[in-house]
Amino acid sequence: MKALLQRVSGAQVHVDGALIGECGQGLMILVCGMQGDTQDMPARLAAKISKLRIFQDDAGKMNRSLLDIGGSALVISQFTLAADTSRGNRPGFSNAAPPEQGRALYDQFATALAGLGIPTQTGQFGADMSVSLTNDGPVTIMLEV
């Protein structure tokens, strides 16, 4: 699985003009299931993200986790994280998990993150979404498990 984390002061996702998910201080997480991903990967990714020390402590150093700050998460499915741009000018997405497997991995990840005590909202898998966020820092980190 791949995830792109953006530390935010707030984020929202809309589908057809309707707000379907949001978070306050915390993380907006773009997540993609990949070919060959196993059922243990969503929980491993969620655990890693929940403990990743990317929030500032009182001294201004990135030394606190999402759990430490009591932050929330907005999780968005993003198959384009699987883009292969090694040939030509059109990205290929054959490394992404097939839709049914991708949806299952996405749902399992969001459930695992919420199960760790992190308030979690989601986008809509496969939908054309409009995502807005206020990047804090900016801090943007790519993770793979």
Give the residue numbers marked as catalytic. 78-80
Q: How many residues does the chain have?
A: 145
One-letter identity of residue 145: V
Phi-psi category of residue 57: left, alpha or beta, with phi > 0 → left and psi -120 to 50 → alpha: beta
Q: Supply φ then ψ for residue 92, to 5 degrees.
A: -105, 145
* Dist CA 52 CA 22 (whole Å): 21
